[in-house]
């Protein structure tokens, strides 16, 4: 896919489009699997929030296969992979002062996760 030029942005935004792709990509994880978010520090953009890096969570659901924005935005290809909704306890994210009843769910790509 060619790089997006500035003049094409308004048309693309009006048109919209899904990032879901019909590619065969094996799922690395399944609901119930424990995972840890990698401590990534790329020079460019990433969709892995800094506050969730190195935190452990549980795969809640697999959303399917999507374009990986970290490579696609830099012209390195779509690198299709699974996106998971990962559940983190509030205490895992914010420490012992957080409510034990609260949780946060973050959608994360395969390349952001390692088995716990």
What are the domain boundaries of the chain? 17-115
**In the predicted model, is pLDDT for residue 30 greater than 70?**
yes
107/34 Cα distance (integer angstroms): 14
- Share above pLDDT 70 across residues of the chain, in percent, rounded to a whole number: 94
pTM of the model: 0.82
Q: Which stretch of 12-16, 42-46, 112-116 has the lowest confidence by average pLDDT?
A: 12-16
55/100 Cα distance (integer angstroms): 16
Contact between residue 27 and residue 115 where contact means Cβ atoms under 8 Å apart:
no
In CATH terms, is domain 17-115 a member of 2.30.30.50? yes
Q: Pick the closest to residue 80 from 64, 102, 99 (CA basis).
A: 64
Q: What is the pLDDT of residue 54?
A: 98
Would you state the structure tokens that stand for residue 82, as one six-digit string? Answer: 């699974």
């Amino acid at each position: 896919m060619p790089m997006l030029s500035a003049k094409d942005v308004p048309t693309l935004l009006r048109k919209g489009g899904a990032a879901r792709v019909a590619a065969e990509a094996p799922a690395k994880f399944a609901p119930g699997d424990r995972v840890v978010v990698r401590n990534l520090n790329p020079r460019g953009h990433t969709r892995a929030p800094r506050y969730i890096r190195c935190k452990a969570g549980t795969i809640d659901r697999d959303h399917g296969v999507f374009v990986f924005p970290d490579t696609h935005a830099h012209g390195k290809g779509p690198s299709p992979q699974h996106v998971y909704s990962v559940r983190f306890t509030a205490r895992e994210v914010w420490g012992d002062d957080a409510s034990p009843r609260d949780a946060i769910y973050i959608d994360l790509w395969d390349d952001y996760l390692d088995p716990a």
